[in-house]
Amino acid sequence: MRRFVNLFQSLDATTRTSEKVEALVDYFTQAPARDAAWAAHVLAGRKVGKAISSTRLRDLVADVAQLPAWLVEECYQAVGDLSETLALLLPPPATPSDLPLHSVIEDFLLPLLASANQEQERRLVAIWQSLDPQSRFVFHKLISTHFRVGAARTLLVRALAQVAGIEQSVMEHRLSGSWKPTAAGFEMLMSAGDDLQVDASRPYPFLLASSLTAEPESLGEIGDWQVEWKWDGVRAQLIRRQGRTFLVSRGQEHVGAAFPEIVQLGGTLPDGTVLDGEILAFENDRPLPFNALQPRLNRKGVEPMLFTDVPVIFLVYDVMEADGIDVRSKPLAERRPLLHELSRACADLRLSPVLEADGWSDIASLMSSARDRGVEGLVLKRRTSRYEVGRPRGLWWKLKVEPYSLDCVLVAAQPGTGKRAGRFTDYTFAVRAGDELVTITKAYSGLTDDEIDEVDRWIRGHIVGRYGPVRAVTPELVFELGFEGIAASERHKCGIALRFPRILRWRKDKPLDEIDTLENARRLLQQHSGTP
């Protein structure tokens, strides 16, 4: 455990990519296979499973440390990280031991998932007595749903590929499979060569588009680019191998149970086919807002009524495997005809259309119609591009329509967590509804560090109410908020939910009586949803 804790601290202590990769290589070179397997599992973003709620964990720490609950909460607000707070509050262990990482997970953490409350508490107290504060901190991260570490998945892939002596693309593909965090699983992951026996459900790593900040004309000749709509759904791969069909999301979750009609479609594909595409709520030949997909997501099965209430399609972008052969190294101009062959053989297969654009002026025209069509914008794909891993610049570019926006007033705030602890950085905003203010959303991003400091100082001088960590403030500061989508919501008092809200700018020029109204927001909702 201590070796993994040292790795965690090393990754968090530097911003230099080379130093992070060096720390990862050092760890995976030295760690026993059973420990390395679990380390790769959690660093790749796979969950071990939430064993206990944060509220119960807080209460148990308060009980063991003989502290009142309010003091634990105050300490949390000061530290900004619950795992660290609880690790610091617990009494120091009498005889800390250096348990192996695999033992901490297999002998303590996993049994917590199946234990009753009293047994959970007994096991937690037992492991607290075995771990030093730094190890407790990492253990708390592992039993939560918020395990974060200062290294992107791409750095893990680079380090593991370096240790194994294989190509990064091969390692990325292996990590995308359903390998088990065991010694045997790790040894298979690290085996030399690229002839690893393929798990039938294993997806390929996705190729992602980069945001284009320059003018499209800077990309050269329009004929070098394939132009498609940027759809707003769930990116996934439809896999047909060994007589079985799998639907795997970009988050590597098997979502076929939620979309059985797409799995049925996959059953018509030739064996050895892997398609890249988008799951869309779709009706009357147009996409529905992303919010329409929500009833389908995270379900183990789908009630019959949802088939008609939420009709879905799988819109295909690309082909990654055909007739059992990896075709990602072929240029896009050769992969697209393969898709047309598949669509002729499978009549129900729908391809993302290639748009006609004779010049860059046509791109501007297409962008102007994007929102009315229910799409997010455009994707420009270089016709000579191979299907590579991640977000290599210059292959696929995305152009997104300008976000919706509303001018809102700040009405409450609470301290951030982690590196934002101690400063008010989590903001609640409202719009006008007659003579009242109605909360419409929260936002956490968009301000510079200097603006955050300025807003923080203002908040501390204008507090009018305290509700746990939340501070109500005088409604004076106006901000323009941008968001990608808007939907009706019964869970929100205002009846509206905003998708991906963020602060676009601080409107120091605008007084409270000029902020947007709830009626303005409802008009945006009607425009977005197409409802009367």
Which whole number is the average pLDDT over 183-191?
89
Give yes or no for a contact between 372 and 527, defined as CB atoms under 8 angstroms apart.
no
Report the alpha-carbon distance of residue 40 to residue 31 in Å, rounded. Answer: 11
The amino acid occupying position 98 is D
Closest by CA to 151, choosing from 349, 328, 7, is 7
Q: Which option is the CATH number for 404-529: 1.10.357.10, 2.40.50.140, 3.60.40.10, 2.60.120.10?
A: 2.40.50.140
pTM metric for this prediction = 0.71
Q: Which residues contact 171 (CB under 8 A, 6 or more apart)?
A: 157, 160, 161, 164, 189
364 vs 309, higher pLDDT: 364
Q: pLDDT digit string (tens) for 195-230? A: 545 678 889 989 999 999 899 999 999 999 999 999
Question: In this predicted structure, what is the pLDDT of residue 153?
Answer: 81
What mean pLDDT is reported for the chain? 88
Burial level of 172, CB count in 10 A (0-12/13-18/19+)? buried
pLDDT band at 178 (very low <50, low <70, confident <90, very high): confident
Give the domain ranges of the chain. Answer: 210-400, 404-529
Question: For residue 280, what are the CA distances in angstroms to 169, 290, 407?
Answer: 28, 8, 30
Question: In this predicted structure, what is the pLDDT of residue 312?
Answer: 92
pLDDT band at 327 (very low <50, low <70, confident <90, very high): very high
Q: pLDDT digit string (tens) for 351-372? A: 999 999 999 999 999 998 888 8
Owner of token pair 């990602």:
328
- What is the share, in percent, of the chain residues with pLDDT greater than 70? 94
Query: Residue 480's beta-bridge partner residues?
Result: 407, 505
Kindly state the tokens that stand for 173. 């593909």
Question: In this predicted structure, what is the pLDDT of residue 359?
Answer: 92
pLDDT band at 45 (very low <50, low <70, confident <90, very high): confident
Burial level of 24, CB count in 10 A (0-12/13-18/19+)? buried
Q: Angle CA(214)–CA(217)–CA(222) in degrees, nearest 5? A: 130
Question: In this predicted structure, what is the pLDDT of residue 509?
Answer: 87
Q: How far is CA 270 from the centre of its chain?
A: 32
pLDDT score of 80 more than 80: no
Which whole number is the average pLDDT over 380-403?
92
pLDDT score of 145 more than 70: no
Question: In this predicted structure, what is the pLDDT of residue 122?
Answer: 87
400 vs 308, higher pLDDT: 400
Question: In this predicted structure, what is the pLDDT of residue 531?
Answer: 46
Supply the DSSP string of 279-311, one letter for each residue: EEEEETTEEPPGGGGGGGTT-SS--HHHHHHS-
Kindly state the tokens that stand for 79. 């530290």
Report the alpha-carbon distance of residue 498 to residue 504 in Å, rounded. Answer: 14
Most confidently predicted of 174-183, 256-265, 271-280, 304-313? 271-280
pLDDT band at 527 (very low <50, low <70, confident <90, very high): confident
Question: In this predicted structure, what is the pLDDT of residue 301?
Answer: 67
Question: For residue 373, what are the CA distances in angstroms to 50, 277, 343, 350, 401?
Answer: 40, 18, 24, 17, 12
Question: In this predicted structure, what is the pLDDT of residue 198?
Answer: 60
pLDDT band at 259 (very low <50, low <70, confident <90, very high): very high
Question: In this predicted structure, what is the pLDDT of residue 239?
Answer: 95
pLDDT score of 76 more than 50: yes
Q: Angle CA(69)–CA(74)–CA(79) in degrees, nearest 5? A: 125
pLDDT score of 437 more than 90: yes
Report the alpha-carbon distance of residue 37 to residue 185 in Å, rounded. Answer: 7
**Span between the terminal Cα atoms of the chain, in Å:** 59
Q: What 8-state DSSP symbol labels residue 383?
A: T
Question: In this predicted structure, what is the pLDDT of residue 150?
Answer: 67
Closest by CA to 265, choosing from 250, 248, 249, 246, is 246
Instruction: Give me the numbers of helices (H) and strands (E) for the chain, helices first please.
Output: 19, 20
Q: Which residues contact 447 (CB under 8 A, 6 or more apart)?
A: 455, 503, 506
Beta strands in 254-393 (DSSP E): 273-283, 286-287, 312-322, 325-326, 350-351, 377-382
Other C-beta atoms closer than 10 Å to the C-beta of 465 total 10
When computed from its CA atoms, the radius of gyration of the chain, rounded to whole angstroms, is 26
Which whole number is the average pLDDT over 5-31?
92
Least confident span in 46-55, 94-103, 473-482: 46-55
- CATH class in words for 210-400: alpha beta
pLDDT band at 529 (very low <50, low <70, confident <90, very high): low
Question: In this predicted structure, what is the pLDDT of residue 532?
Answer: 41
Most confidently predicted of 107-121, 306-320, 395-409? 395-409
Which whole number is the average pLDDT over 136-146?
83
pLDDT score of 305 more than 70: no
Kindly state the tokens that stand for 464. 């009018």
Question: For residue 48, what are the CA distances in angstroms to 44, 52, 102?
Answer: 11, 12, 12
Report the alpha-carbon distance of residue 105 to residue 134 in Å, rounded. Answer: 16
Question: In this predicted structure, what is the pLDDT of residue 90?
Answer: 92
Question: In this predicted structure, what is the pLDDT of residue 452?
Answer: 93
Label each residue of 433-489 as H, E or C.
ECCEEEEEEEECCCCCHHHHHHHHHHHHCCEEEEECCEEEECCCCEEEEEECEEEEC
Owner of token pair 């240029």:
331
For 179, the enclosing helix (H) or strand (E) is none
